Amino acid sequence: MKAPVISAIALMFAGVTNAYAAEPAKAVTASAPTVLLSGIDSKHNDVNVKAQDDFYRHVNGKWLKTSEIPADKSSAGAFMDLREATIPRLHAITEALAKQHAKTGTDAQKIADLYASFMDTAKIETLGLTPLESDFAKVAALSDKNQIPAFIAYLNLISVAAPFDIGVHQDNKDSTKYVLDIGQSGLGMPDRDYYLNNDDAKLKDTRAKYLKHIEKMLSLTGDKDAAKNAADILALETELAKVQWTKVELRDPIKAYNKIEINKLDTLTPGFGWTSYLSNLGVQGKLDTLMVSQPSYLTGFNKVLQESSLDAWKAYFKWHLLSATASQLPKAFDEENFAFYGTTLSGTPSQEVRWKRGVRLADAGLGESLGKLYVEKHFPAQSKVKMEKLVSNLLLAYKQSIDTLDWMSPETKKEAQAKLATFMPKIGYPNKWRDYSNLSITRGDTVGNLRHTRLFASKVELNKLGKPIDREEWGMTPQTVNAYYNPEMNEIVFPAAILQAPFFDAKADDAVNYGGIGAVIGHEISHGFDDQGAQYDGLGNLRDWWSKEDHEKFAVKTAALVKQYGAFSPIPGYFVNGELTLGENIADNSGLAIAYKAYKLSLGGKPGPVIGGLTGDQRFFMGFAQVWRGKMREATMIVRLKTDPHSPGEIRANGTLRNMPGFYESYGVKEGDKMYLAPKDRVSIW
């Protein structure tokens, strides 16, 4: 199912008391540890690169020169290091659960058996394609296109790619209610450009390899017409790609808000069996309306459905059922699946060791149950306390900043303050854990277990329809190294696993924490006021609370950011899409600016300590640059540039710092330095 609308720091819901809703009386100053730690990993610094010319390489240069991306990874860096450090911890928890021989039906049994089933490769080889026989039989039984709507509902429930997908989230104009949302989907490659761009040799080569990949996978099933069916599948997906919205178009929440009465769906898709679809989805009679995020796509899909042969659709469905379970199948399927999606598409030479993949599978299936145990073992109480202080100071800095903005009118400032006052921070882990009692896991049935976890997750979402909003729900597990803002909930969420160095170190001087996790906090708060988030009010409703003049002034600033970032080219011939990345670039620039102000507030008017010959301000900016330390394989970078709303890490560091007056002052950046931007070209929003 589609994920709810959230803006994360890196490429991913009962009333609860908001501890930060009231206006903070004053900045909260942290107690200094007995021994002040710098928090800067100086062994990665390259002093031969001037900070004023390339700050990212000045901070991370030695690491960039000496580190290598592991053979089983598409990228490496600070985020990946933390994610990799989390896996052995989850593995130890999983292994401990296995030794308990827990009672059937307990979460411990389910986690242990889900993991053990995936690790039993001998059983997987013996079963072969037997676990997919019933699904393949369903495809073979399709004798009329009128049966396709019911089959798409089945695919949606078990999270297998289909021409459209579903999601459940708050109504964007009435955040007190959940809605069912239908949106475009159904492609086997990351973006429509991989199907439609004929000028890019790399994309054309990937397209050719995708065709061969489909053919080989189908051949492994014994399909004697694999070549023809592969060609039909690629042709069908290409037709779907032609009518899909671009990633930039998908960023517009107003354009995507299309509520339609169930009995009028036929006006978009004449002849499509919506009654059959909704009945098989399990929601027939429960809804009067639903959302259609991309109406023109749905109409276009219906035309493709009518004009394509039933045999082509059957080949398409069989292919996606096979592809969605390939990692649970015998070695030949698993390796061919990785050869395309891992090596061809991402440039990764080797697949991860199986135990790591098994842990990720258990994490995906019972993430909150694992998360509860993870928090007990690996999240110190003092980390949450210190984070609460950081968040409080960031919110105070935003409050003060709003009052001093020269481009926002008094009326809009009042609305902005009201929205800020209703922000709901969530730190570390949820107050209420997910109940997995309705999930069935059987040892030895890895394909069935995958189906069960996906079906369980879908039903959790669909069961929200008609019920009150669950404001305690989390969109990420505590062991996720990430953070997010949800505009419909007006909440900022920071899972436990990101609250580690280099983002956060409870034993370090505050400067590096404000530059690291402080900028992350500021980033997520900023999403409430970026080009998308600013269209939602404090209650999570799409509502225009800006004056016309404010819109115009904001548009000038955002246009300048689009131009700035659109000039960056991390790979020759490939540029950052300034429009696609606009929201994240706004959040990076605004978040760092506010984190800097919050750091100053935390000092209570005193200068930051000098540690290791570096001032507090200098360590603040170094703390920011070191969290974006990373490198990426070229194929993965191309995928990211086509699909990711975030700029690459190097650009997130240098591109943001070039707009920061405090950075110029801290490092004496002047005209002629490569990091220098003329004051008229710098973009300052907050």
∠ CA(481), CA(118), CA(474), 5° rounding? 30
Supply the pLDDT for residue 7.
79
The alpha carbon of 667 is separated from its chain's Cα centroid by a whole number of angstroms, namely 34
119 and 363 in contact (C-beta within 8 Å)?
Answer: no
90 and 479 in contact (C-beta within 8 Å)?
Answer: yes
In DSSP terms, which residues pair with 184 in a beta bridge?
Answer: 164
Q: What is the pLDDT of residues 614-672, one digit of tens each?
A: 999 999 999 999 999 999 999 999 999 999 999 999 999 999 999 999 999 999 999 99
Q: How do the domains of the chain map onto residue ranges? A: 38-67+382-430+474-681, 144-328
Q: Determine the 3-state secondary structure of 442 from DSSP.
A: coil
Q: For residue 578, what are the contacts with CB-CB under 8 A and spacing of at least 6?
A: 561, 562, 563, 564, 565, 566, 585
Q: Which two three-digit tokens encode residue 359?
A: 């842990």
Indicate the class that CATH gives domain 144-328.
mainly alpha
Supply the pLDDT for residue 194.
98
Residues 568, 575: Cα–Cα separation, whole Å: 6
Residues 57, 46: Cα–Cα separation, whole Å: 7
CB count in 10 Å sphere of residue 191: 19
Q: For residue 386, what are the contacts with CB-CB under 8 A and spacing of at least 6?
A: 30, 504, 506, 513
Supply the pLDDT for residue 5.
56
- In the block, which residue shows the tokens 């308990």? 100
Q: Which of 12, 230, 77, 198 is nearest to 637 (CA)?
A: 77
38-67+382-430+474-681 has CATH 3.40.390.10 classification:
yes
Could you please report the per-residue DSSP string of 508-535?
B-HHHHIIIIIHHHHHHHHGGGSTTGGG
The terminus-to-terminus CA distance of the chain in angstroms comes to: 36
Residues 30, 307: Cα–Cα separation, whole Å: 66
Q: Which of 196, 9, 2 is nearest to 588 (CA)?
A: 9
Residues 256, 148: Cα–Cα separation, whole Å: 25
620 and 515 in contact (C-beta within 8 Å)?
Answer: yes
Residues 425, 479: Cα–Cα separation, whole Å: 17
314 and 140 in contact (C-beta within 8 Å)?
Answer: yes
Backbone phi and psi for residue 191, each to the nearest 5 degrees, phi listed first: -155, 155
Supply the pLDDT for residue 507.
87
Supply the pLDDT for residue 506.
85
Residues 112, 289: Cα–Cα separation, whole Å: 41
Residues 112, 541: Cα–Cα separation, whole Å: 42
User: Would residue 77 be called left, alpha or beta, if left means φ above 0 and alpha means ψ between -120 and 50 degrees?
Assistant: left
Name the percent of the chain in helix, strand, coil, to the closest 5: 55, 10, 40
Q: In what order do the strands lie in the sheet containing 484-486?
A: 7-8, 484-486, 491-495, 424-428
Residue 176 burial (CB < 10 Å; 0-12/13-18/19+)? exposed
Element at 260 (helix H, strand E): strand 259-261
Backbone phi and psi for residue 583, each to the nearest 5 degrees, phi listed first: -60, -45
Q: Which two three-digit tokens encode residue 203?
A: 């994309």
Burial 447-481 (b: 16+ CB within 10 A, else e): bbbbbbbbbbbbebbbebbeeebeeebbbbbbbbb
246 and 294 in contact (C-beta within 8 Å)?
Answer: no
Residues 280, 288: Cα–Cα separation, whole Å: 16
Residues 230, 580: Cα–Cα separation, whole Å: 32
Q: For residue 449, what are the contacts with CB-CB under 8 A and spacing of at least 6?
A: 113, 114, 117, 118, 365, 441, 442
Q: What is the pLDDT of residues 405-448, one digit of tens each?
A: 989 999 999 999 999 999 999 999 999 999 999 999 999 999 99
Element at 631 (helix H, strand E): strand 630-632
Supply the pLDDT for residue 28.
44
Segments of the chain with pLDDT less than 70: 2-5, 11-35
Task: Indicate the pTM of the whole model.
Answer: 0.93
